[in-house]
Structures are given as C-alpha cells and as structure tokens.
Chain A
C-alpha cells in the first residue's frame, strides 16, 4: 500500500516537474499552455491518487478535488489560449518558414476566419 502510494506520488511529481520544465523550455505562449496544462494536470492526478493510497480515509475529498482539477484546468487554459488568439498574440513560427510569407500566413488567416 505504501509502495503503491509512493509510486503514484513519484510519477505525479515527475509529470509536474516535466510540465514546469516545458513551461521554461518551450518557445511560445501556446506551446507553454500545452506543456503547463496537460503535464501538470496528469501530475496532479497522480499525486492525488498517491495521497488516496496513502490515506484511504480521505478518498472522497481527494476524488472531489481530482475531478474538479480534471474538469476545470483544461477549460481555463483553453479560455486563456482563445483570449490570447483573439487579442492578436502571434503564434511562434520557425525561422525558415517565417522567411517565406505565403506558407506561414495562409493557414493562419484561414484559422482567423474560422474563429470569427
């Protein structure tokens, strides 16, 4: 029981660490949203599972917090990403692609028309 709790806790901590590392290493706001949302959410789920194995009498409250984070964290970061996209924060393009204007700007305009 303690070993299962430690394995879940360590897996969750590793995923939280990798999410924060992606928050440092990624080149753009949108990439950082992806890293900081999905990896940190999975890490939080792992840590809550580990705590539920460690303290089995707290499972209902941990289940409520786990479901709440699992539901609301993708919603909030999707709202943030949509708000950035609407308020003209440019996505990061690669240097070779940004030299040629047509290949980088055409799908971007199609996305813009689709969102409005």
Chain B
C-alpha cells in the first residue's frame, strides 16, 4: 500500500525529470515544504507592509533560490547548476550589501527619504522635524 502511494505521488508530480533518480516519499515532502516556504517568503515580498519587510524577504528568498538551484542540479543530475547556484549566491550577497550601504548612508543616494515617504516607516519620536510635514 505504501509503495503504491509513493508511486502515485511520483507519477502525480512527475518529478524524476526523465533522469534515473526516483524520488521517494521523504524527498517529495521536502520539495513540498521548500515550495511552501518559497510561497510564504514571496507573500511577504509582495504584500509586505513596509519596504524593510520586502528587503528582508528578498534576502531570505535569495538563499532559498540558491537551495532550489542545487535541488534542480540534483533533479537533472547536472553539475552545471551548482556553478549557477554559487554565482547566484555571490551576486545576491553583493546586491544585498550594496542595498544596505545605500540605506545606511543616505547622503550618497537619497534612498532614505524614498523609503520613509512612500511606505510610512515609523520614525523615532526623539528627532523632531524628520518627516513631520510630509504626511497629508
């Protein structure tokens, strides 16, 4: 019975990608959990209340995308996707660091005003006149 259920799941999702790798029940559960995690991080990226939430979920999504690229390498049984995953990780790290520098030093890029005006990030009360006149 268990064997038939596993075969049904494998044929339902059709996940062996034409290669010789037959997935069992634990691996399909792992793939479904990673898919659910991607959907939840994507929800926070799309409907996040503020811009910092979107940036944080983009940081988490870059790691999840690296993991998914390695899983794709395992599914296709091709080593090239591991190189793709490594380059994706390097570029996302450089992008996140550049974004953090742009937020941290707003005199260079005027990014902070954009962050606060568009998305209503709470400003600390101890510095008056920061964006006190901006809200209609």
Contacting pair B52 A51 (CB below 8 A): no
Contacting pair A68 B67 (CB below 8 A): no
Report if B15 contacts A (CB, 8 A): no
Chain B: interface secondary structure? helix
Contacting pair B60 A54 (CB below 8 A): no
Which of A9, A24, A29, A54 meets B52, CB within 8 Å? A29
Contacting pair A13 B74 (CB below 8 A): no
Contacting pair B43 A76 (CB below 8 A): no
Name the interface residues of B62-76: CB closer than 8 Å to any CB of A: 63-64, 66-67, 70-71, 73-74
Which of A6, A62, A79 meets B82, CB within 8 Å? A62
Chain B residues within 8 Å of chain A by Cβ, number: 58
Contacting pair B89 A68 (CB below 8 A): yes
Say whether, besides A84-B103, A87-B104, A19 and B60 are in contact (CB < 8 Å): yes
Which of B29, B43, B59, B85 meets A36, CB within 8 Å? B59
The residues of B with any CB-CB pair to A shorter than 8 Å are 24, 26-27, 29-31, 33-34, 36-38, 40-41, 43-44, 50, 52-53, 55-57, 59-60, 63-64, 66-67, 70-71, 73-74, 77, 79, 82-83, 85-86, 89-90, 93, 96-97, 99-101, 103-104, 106, 112, 115-116, 121-124, 126-127, 130
The residues of A with any CB-CB pair to B shorter than 8 Å are 2, 6-7, 9-10, 12-14, 16-17, 19-21, 23-24, 29, 32-33, 36-37, 40-41, 43-44, 47-48, 50-51, 54-55, 58, 61-62, 64-65, 68-69, 72-73, 75-77, 79-80, 82-84, 86-90, 105, 109
